[in-house]
Amino acid sequence: MPIATVNPANGETLKTYEALSPEEIERRLALAARAFDSYRTTTFFDRARLLQRAADLLEADAPDIARVMTTEMGKPVAAARAEALKCVKTMRWYAEHASRLLADEHPAESDVTDSGAVRAHVRYRPLGPVLAVMPWNFPLWQVVRFAAPALMAGNVGLLKHASNVPQMALYLEDLFHRAGFPEGCFQTLLIGSGAVEGILRDERVVAATLTGSEPAGRSVASIAGDEVKKTVLELGGSDPYVVLPSADVAKAAKTAVTARVQNNGQSCIAAKRFIVHESVFEEFREVFVSGMRELRVGDPLDEGTDVGPLSSEQGRTDLEELVDDAVESGATVLCGGQRPKDFADRGWFYEPTVIADVTPEMRIHQEETFGPVATLYRVADLDEAIAVANDTPFGLSSNLWTRDEDEIERFVRDSQAGGVFVNGMTASHPALPFGGAKRSGYGRELSDQGIKEFCNITTVWIGA
């Protein structure tokens, strides 16, 4: 399979690249091992200086690199700029806070006196070269939220990016190089998926992180498990968006539009299943469907575009199959449900779509919809809302709209997800842990939890 930039707005192949040879892969693995041997001894101050420089460079590059991102994977250019600036924020946050997050931890003397220690503490030490297998949908953000904490912890990174975003992958390697990181601290591997196993089994690679599909996660986790190597997985999501009677329904419905179509609907943490109490269902439906209809579908390089194309022809086909299956089984299309007529002969566009009357036997009830398609459910009470919200193999995040504190506490207690966002849409932030439950993966990124995932948590015991 070629490693190429194909513009999803028109299907044009812009650039192609040769995959790395086995000899070049070996050279890069050896370079990563040598880089780690020296980089791990650098200070937090030194690492922070380099990461701050990378943030400054990315901030300056943001307008130009956003256009490259848009031509590679199709997101509206305004969203691409916002993604770049979010990466800048996260780099700066870890540069500022890593030394505190990874400071030695000292238990109370009274807690360790019976261990025979004069003193004892916990130290966080880097693991080594970490392989990052990353997706195309947030081609900067997904990488930076791994790389920033990993580099600040003293690890080095090997990036296997999605094959449809090679320019973004090469840009990231160049960014860290220009920032002054020692050679080999962050390398991009232009390889196909078939080369991942050999790299992950190499003894110089100590751990892996993957954001992507459930099958990809299973494969990486299986290989890493066989080699007894640490993994962090962030996989799919089918996030519920629950609206109860006390909510600001108009605000919930307007926010729901953004929550569903962010990144052209191609986001693991996008709300996908909208579960609304029957007493406010009609009000929500009217505002939500109207908002979805009003979205502007078009050229993602146009600043006025709300929804661009899906990233690939196969991605659109997969989405169409889910919608067609639901309709054939009795679901009702409230808006959308087809390719836009204005783009019938070019690009991989799909109309913003809302589907109601969804039943459990439909594929769309259980499978992730990776595109601008929402399913709408009517429920009688909180108990039914929670049951529908949890009726999915995924558990990445969840949303609840209510002003009732008891309902909030109940939902937080019973939601089978890694995040609960109340009266707002799911979003990631460097200070808050991010990750899922069930088939959405395990481990956490961001915050202190994320930076510690790839650390050797070391007990230091000192006797008399």
Average pLDDT over residues 407-423: 98
Angle at 98 between CA 96 and CA 101, to 5 degrees: 125
Element (H, E) at 172: helix 166-178
Q: Are 152 and 48 in contact (CB under 8 A)?
A: yes
Confidence of residue 25 (pLDDT cuts 50, 70, 90): very high
Give CA–CA dist 232/228, Å, rounded. 13
Give CA–CA dist 240/284, Å, rounded. 15
Average pLDDT over residues 170-179: 98
169: Cβ contacts below 8 Å, ≥ 6 apart: 139, 159, 161, 188, 190
Q: Are 417 and 436 in contact (CB under 8 A)?
A: yes
Give CA–CA dist 88/85, Å, rounded. 5
Please provide the distance, in angstroms rounded to a whole number, between the alpha carbons at the two ends of the chain. 62
Would the pLDDT of 195 be above 70?
yes
Give CA–CA dist 181/54, Å, rounded. 9
Q: Is the pTM of this model over 0.85?
A: yes
Query: Which pLDDT score is estimated for 344?
Result: 80
Strand ranges, E, within 145-197:
156-160, 186-188
Q: Of the residues 83, 234, 367, 368, which is catalytic?
A: 234
Confidence of residue 90 (pLDDT cuts 50, 70, 90): very high
Would the pLDDT of 110 be above 90?
no
Q: What are phi and psi of 403, to 5 degrees?
A: -105, 5
Interval 332-354: pLDDT, tens = 999 999 999 988 889 999 999 99
Is 268 among the catalytic positions?
Answer: yes
Q: What Cα–Cα distance (Å) separates residue 153 from each residue in 57, 185, 375?
A: 21, 12, 41
Is 407 among the catalytic positions?
Answer: no
Average pLDDT over residues 178-207: 98
User: How many C-beta atoms surround the C-beta of residue 148 within 10 A?
Assistant: 25
For residue 241, give both structure tokens: 């968006």
Q: Tokens 């920032």 identify what position?
A: 179
Would the pLDDT of 2 be above 80?
no
Q: Are 220 and 231 in contact (CB under 8 A)?
A: yes
Confidence of residue 51 (pLDDT cuts 50, 70, 90): very high
Q: Tokens 């980089």 identify what position?
A: 39
Nearest to 306 by CA among 366, 276, 271, 351: 351
Rg (CA), the chain: 23
**What's the residue count for the chain?**
464
Q: Are 430 and 94 in contact (CB under 8 A)?
A: yes
Average pLDDT over residues 36-58: 98
Query: Which pLDDT score is estimated for 231?
Result: 98
Q: Of the residues 72, 83, 173, 268, which is catalytic?
A: 268
Query: Which pLDDT score is estimated for 113?
Result: 84
Average pLDDT over residues 16-34: 98
Average pLDDT over residues 166-171: 98
Query: Which pLDDT score is estimated for 1?
Result: 63
